[in-house]
Amino acid sequence: MVLSIIIPIYNVENTLRRCLDSVLSQNVDDCEIILVDDGSTDCSGEIAEGYSRKYKNVVALRKPNSGPSAARNYGLDKAKGDYVTFIDSDDELAPGTLRPLLNILHTHPEYDILEYSFHEHVGYYDERYVDIGNHIYHNTIDWLAVSGYQHCWMWNKLFRRELFDSLRFPQHLHRFEDLWMMGELLKRNPVIATTSHGKYLYHWNNGGLMAGTWQYADLINVQADVIRKLGIDTRQRQWHKLYMDMYNIQLYAYIQTGNIIISPQKVAPRAYNGIQGLVKSLALDILGLKQFCRLFKFFIKKIKNNR
């Protein structure tokens, strides 16, 4: 078995067929599609079982509801492929995605992770296509520093299954478990290749976990955990953009909690992701982290009150 495709399912009867049809249309031999119904209360489980009866390479499993991490772990326990990939049940693959990726892995058995391009927020005003490009990273820190930290997801990558030996998703996390897992995988220093071939179509789900109210502090804490795991020093210039991304999240976390989570530091003032990034980096250096968090909270509240 070359590839195991793990698809967690929970109350996605409106999108599941679209997802499964996009995977089955890849016409890839010697792969298994593992559907893990995590206690759905709609017709998702019946849809999954219908596909398993129709297609011999589709396996439908059911388990009591315990979250996406547990569902993925259940799929990993059953997976038999040399490689494994994860697809969210409200997303899809563009036609002709998997075959070129598997050809690359066949030609380069030394690759442990193959990352491919993606189209994000399909159909929304902020949709964007990101071409990952063709690169090879023998040091995972190099991949992370280039911009890998901006797409530490499970869903646009194929992994050597052995990477998950004695490693499973944390069941105490119901959000940002992808980032946590990537931190663990990167600790193993896998060879990472990226390719322009293929395309993952990420659909924004208004009813999904990430669409609901969540604490910005949760994300920062997971990011900080990954940084500690990998021994990253954000005071080094190559990590200033990473720190600025965390700093932006910290501003909103402060509004929610009033707490400072990240360590205060200075960065090289420049336009990180546009002119707002330049303003924020200057404010960070002039006012300091805590003072600017207070000022930002004041202005956000003032704007809301004037609406």
- Give residue limits of the domains in the chain: 3-211, 218-305
What are the b/e assignments for 239-248, b being 16+ CB within 10 Å? bbbbbbbbbb
The pLDDT profile of the chain, 307 residues, written as one tens digit per residue, is 899 999 999 999 999 999 999 999 998 989 999 999 999 999 999 999 999 999 999 999 999 999 999 999 999 999 999 999 999 999 999 999 999 999 999 999 999 999 999 998 887 777 888 999 999 999 999 999 988 888 999 999 999 999 999 999 998 877 899 999 999 999 999 999 999 999 999 997 655 444 444 589 999 999 999 999 999 999 999 999 999 999 999 999 999 999 999 999 999 999 988 899 999 999 999 999 999 999 999 988 878 777 6
Q: Are 32 and 5 in contact (CB under 8 A)?
A: yes
* Token pair belonging to 52: 């398993």
- Identity of the residue numbered 119: H
Q: Are 196 and 131 in contact (CB under 8 A)?
A: yes
Q: CB-side exposure of 155: number of CA atoms within 13 Å?
A: 21
Fold of 3-211: Spore Coat Polysaccharide Biosynthesis Protein SpsA; Chain A (3.90.550)
pTM reported for the whole predicted model? 0.90
Q: Are 272 and 261 in contact (CB under 8 A)?
A: no
Q: Are 136 and 151 in contact (CB under 8 A)?
A: no
H helical segments located in the chain? 16-24, 44-54, 68-78, 98-107, 140-146, 177-187, 216-230, 240-257, 275-287, 289-305
What are the b/e assignments for 47-79, b being 16+ CB within 10 Å? bbbebbeeeeebbbbeeeeebbbbbbbbbbeeb
Residue pointed to by tokens 């559907």 = 35
d(C-alpha 210, C-alpha 28), whole Å: 31
